[in-house]
Amino acid sequence: MHHPNLTSSVIFGLGFLYLVQLVMNFFWTIRSLKNDGHCRLPSLFGGAEVPVAMWWGLYTAVLAMLTIAHFTGYSSPDSFLIVLPDWFKGLVDVAVSDPKWFFTETVLVFGAIILLRRQLATDTAGWILLNASTVFLSLSLTDWDFRQIVGKPDNVPIVGMLFIVGFFTWLSFKKANENDSRLEQGLGPLEGEDNEKVLVWPDLVYTELIVMIGLTAFLFFWGVCLEAPLEEPASSVKTPNPSKAPWYFLGLQEMLVYYDPWLAGVVFPSTILGGMMALPYIDFNKKGNGYYTFNERKFAISVFLFGFLPLWVGMIVLGTFLRGPNWNMFGIYEYWDVHKLEALNNVNLSEYFWLYGLGVSMPVPDANGSFMSQVGTIVWRESPGIVLTLGYLFLLPSVMAMTIFRNFAFRMGFFRFMVFANLVLLMAALPAKMVLRWLFNLKYLVAIPEYFINI
């Protein structure tokens, strides 16, 4: 099936996207002229001193040319040159269309946010990142398959969410960095400076009023621009492929690839909620209450961000944009081919143990035996996984308490520490199983289909 990557209306529409970027960068150039000072050109170019703003001016000029090109060149889409090269699309598709690479990349991004926070959470770096993503988005929109998936009405908010989450992560790290530097010098956090009492009328109520008016306008604007989706009338016989849960549950649906529904759909979500409720009673660190900081709460913030960014937002992105028919993975520029085949031959731990490890046949429960003897055989068959799982949940916390988390265990007390350790371990259970799957094609650690207990 051939679909044109470019049509006149796409080119013309993209013109507006470039126009927005042009305007944004025009103002940024002016700001840079005022704030950014000068830099020296390489000696090859004479080594002259030029304002940093010159680079932004050049970039803005490029955007201006792009805008003009889109607004004037839309009539012949076949010969329009501003598209993504195929090699680039191929590269990106390879990089994202395998869960192990995608997950690794999100973890790398997470690591970069934490480790490079001083470098990334600055105005200039933030602006560069924003521009990199808008240019990437604009160029990607020249691809038909990309438009299909990103342009689905219900998916549009997710694209917006990525920008917003990115922005607020940047903002909070920027504020945390400022405070951390102050705290190092023995000053208090910025939030405590000039913190006089003001009257709520007018200082707060006017802000609220303006926000309300702005949001109302925004919702109307959004409603006019983008029609709410309505597909074919419901039919209980025509199953769509893929069948997806609402987007905010796609992280949970993605867990189904690695864990059975009783865990992925019931136990883990309940644990996530329970764990979040338990959070204030587990975090015994008194510091960092009422201001942004990273250094005073390194552990808590890292764990929370790991849960929120790669595991929650990352999995939603994967489930929404990368999972296609038959729940196969597809690149963002790849056609959703229903016939794409992916070999699935996963093996249970018990099979590894008995068949490959010991080279004997698997214990089989005696169909005519008593209930207890059947259960006994099953437990015996699955004993390697059962031992591992019990060890993970009950032994490992004690080991943690005696080694890396000694300090924690000491300050938290037994019960609190056990809750904490189990929550952390359950959170780690998802990436752990993912890695086991990718490395060993492991299906289940414990496979008791007889009683629907598969882990």
Out of 16, 168, 394, 414, which residue is the one contacting another protein (CB under 8 A)? 168
Binders of another protein among 401-440, rule CB under 8 A? none
Q: Is 230 among the residues that bind another protein (CB under 8 A)?
A: yes
Q: How far is the CB of 74 from another protein (least distance, A)?
A: 28
Q: Is 108 among the residues that bind another protein (CB under 8 A)?
A: no
Q: Is 160 among the residues that bind another protein (CB under 8 A)?
A: yes
Which residue, 146 or 292, is less far from another protein as judged by CB? 292
Options 4-12, 74-82, 165-173, 397-405: segment touching another protein (CB under 8 A)? 165-173
Chain-centre distance for alpha carbon 89: 21
Options 63-71, 81-89, 217-225, 428-436: segment touching another protein (CB under 8 A)? 217-225
- Cα distance between the two ends of the chain: 41
Out of 227, 343, 372, 439, which residue is the one contacting another protein (CB under 8 A)? 227
Q: How far apart are CA 156 and CA 330, in angstroms?
A: 19
Q: Is 105 among the residues that bind another protein (CB under 8 A)?
A: no
Omega before 242 within 30 of 0, i.e. cis: yes
Q: How far is the CB of 276 from another protein (least distance, A)?
A: 5
Which residue, 98 or 178, is less far from another protein as judged by CB? 178
User: What b-and-e string marks burial along 156-167, b requiring 16 or more CB atoms within 10 Å of the CB?
Assistant: eebbeeeeeebe
Q: How far is the CB of 215 from another protein (least distance, A)?
A: 6
Q: How far apart are CA 220 and CA 54, in angstroms?
A: 39
Q: Is 338 among the residues that bind another protein (CB under 8 A)?
A: no
Which residue, 35 or 207, is less far from another protein as judged by CB? 207
Omega before 202 within 30 of 0, i.e. cis: yes
Q: Is 361 among the residues that bind another protein (CB under 8 A)?
A: no
Q: Is 342 among the residues that bind another protein (CB under 8 A)?
A: no
Q: Is 217 among the residues that bind another protein (CB under 8 A)?
A: no
Rounded alpha-carbon distances, angstroms, from residue 315 to 91, 114, 140, 257, 346: 21, 19, 21, 12, 22
Q: What number of chain residues touch another protein (CB under 8 A)?
A: 90
The neighbouring-strand residues paired with 329 are 323
Binders of another protein among 248-307, rule CB under 8 A? 248-249, 252-253, 260-262, 264-267, 273, 276-277, 279-281, 283, 285-293, 297, 301, 304
Residues 6+ apart with CB under 8 A from 79: none
Question: Alpha-carbon Rg of the chain, whole angstroms?
Answer: 27
Strands 49-51 vs 447-448: parallel, antiparallel or unpaired: unpaired
Quick note: the x/- pattern for another protein over 124-153, rule CB under 8 A, is ------------------------------
Q: Is 326 among the residues that bind another protein (CB under 8 A)?
A: no
Rounded alpha-carbon distances, angstroms, from residue 296 to 292, 344, 351, 434: 9, 46, 47, 32
Which residue, 81 or 198, is less far from another protein as judged by CB? 198
Which residue, 44 or 234, is less far from another protein as judged by CB? 234
Quick note: the x/- pattern for another protein over 1-30, rule CB under 8 A, is ------------------------------
Strands 447-448 vs 453-454: parallel, antiparallel or unpaired: antiparallel
Strands 49-51 vs 453-454: parallel, antiparallel or unpaired: unpaired
Residues 6+ apart with CB under 8 A from 367: none
Instruction: Transcribe 370-401 into DSSP letters.
Output: -HHHHHHHHHHHTHHHHHHHHIIIIIHHHHHH
Q: How far apart are CA 95 and CA 91, in angstroms?
A: 6
Q: How far is the CB of 69 from another protein (least distance, A)?
A: 32
Q: Is 81 among the residues that bind another protein (CB under 8 A)?
A: no
- Which among 310, 291, 276, 313 is positioned nearest to 165, based on CA atoms? 313
Options 155-163, 338-346, 400-408, 416-424: segment touching another protein (CB under 8 A)? 155-163
Q: How far apart are CA 433 and CA 259, in angstroms?
A: 8
Which residue, 105 or 283, is less far from another protein as judged by CB? 283
Enter the DSSP assignment of 246. Answer: -
Binders of another protein among 180-209, rule CB under 8 A? 188-189, 191-192, 194-205, 207-208
Q: Is 211 among the residues that bind another protein (CB under 8 A)?
A: yes
Options 25-33, 172-180, 343-351, 404-412: segment touching another protein (CB under 8 A)? 172-180
Out of 31, 147, 244, 437, which residue is the one contacting another protein (CB under 8 A)? 244
